[in-house]
Structure 1
């Protein structure tokens, strides 16, 4: 039974907590000063995918990924993290799993600007050249690029490059890293846009996985 529940931003706990489990309110997308004093071997995060990513980033920075299990209670039914890993989005079921389920390693995706990606990364209207590992994924322009952790036990991530807006053509790639260079874009990670346009961007698998509480196999 996990002992600390971080309730982020406007998220709410919909069920009472068992004895011995305490809740701590923190801001949306909590930072170093909010999270570091609370870090424990077993955590539950109640909030958005961006909130979860902010907490996981602190675990990465403190070298605690290998020794911390993380349960997740999505505050949004459309959570990309929940969709990837089959997590329940009904608050009561999600909390029950997060508190008492078993953690398993899942790929943790980083970017070359110091962030992490847990659910869904998007680049809209990219124009340039992109590679997934050594495979050319784009040369020219596309409607979008979507990158996610690979839930199927592959090298780390999977990417979908979509061409066209009406008759959409999609190409799928899988690998350890995805790199894009060319015209300025604003990448978005877990619903949060990068603060400025950038010409080069990379998502890649970290050397250590995230220990995420998942439903039984």
Structure 2
């Protein structure tokens, strides 16, 4: 069994870890003061996608992405991260994988405000112009934009219309939006102020995430 377990928010109340595994209870979306003293070469994060993103952000800031193996145990609702990378939904199975599995490289998506996106980014009712790499993703209005990491970088789903919804998908390394101010959502957390411009893009270094065997 490998790794220090960081149980975020309500995860600490229900989480069961094997004997001998160190568990640290942290608040939801922990910050520098809570996370940095606990960073080791092998981490397990239990909580929501936003909790995982908070810990990964600290790895990024401390330049430890390439040297840290990260296991993830989704707790507290549906996890887009688990769905993308096919992690177990059952907490016990997810814990076993996180502690014993091998890490693979997965793209890490950043934004131009200094944050990271691990599961699902959303722009609600954007109005303006957006690009995925060099392609125009939309011009004018859309019902929503959803951005997720994928094996090559990121995948963007544009939804238009209300009664008759039309969807279009783009794949690339970067998504850029400019237009009417809005508050982007990253892993369920709204940016604290409206932004006229927003970018999600693939970072130069990947995340070493523990994945199921293929």
Instruction: Specify the TM-score bucket, using the shorter chain as the normaliser.
Output: over 0.9
| 1:52-77 CA-partner distances (Å, limit 9, x unpaired) | 00000000000000000100000134
Size of the aligned set, in residue pairs, is 213
How far apart are the structure 1 equivalents of 2:2 and 2:172?
A: 33
- 1:48-197 matches, within 5 Å, as 48-150=48-150, 153-154=151-152, 156-197=153-194
Unaligned runs of 5+ in 1: none
Aligned 8 A contact 2:48 2:76 in 1 = yes
Matches within 5 A, 1:39-50: 39-50=39-50
**CA–CA separation in structure 2 for the residues paired with 1:77 and 1:8:** 13
Stretches (4+) displaced over 2 A: 12-16
How far apart, CA to CA, are the structure 2 residues paired with 1:196 and 1:14?
34
Give the Cα–Cα distance (whole angstroms) in 2 for the partners of residues 14 and 7 of structure 1.
8
Q: Is the 8 A contact 1:109 1:204 kept in 2?
A: yes
Instruction: Give the drift of 1:3.
Output: 2.8
Report Cα offsets for 1:129-163 as digits up to 9, x if no partner: 0000000001000000000001xx32x10100000
CA deviation digits over 1:11-59, x for unaligned, max 9? 134323232x200011110000100000000000000000000000000
> Which 5+ residue runs of structure 2 have no aligned equivalent?
none
What residue number does 1:17 align with? Answer: 18
Q: State the distance in 2 between where 1:31 and 1:161 align.
A: 32
Quote the Cα distance in structure 1 between the aligned partners of 2:121 and 2:69: 23
CA distance in 1, matches of 2:83, 2:2: 23
Aligned-pair RMSD on alpha carbons?
A: 0.9
In 2, the alpha carbon distance for the partners of 1:16 and 1:81 equals: 21
Compute the TM-score of the two structures, normalised by the length of structure 1: 0.96
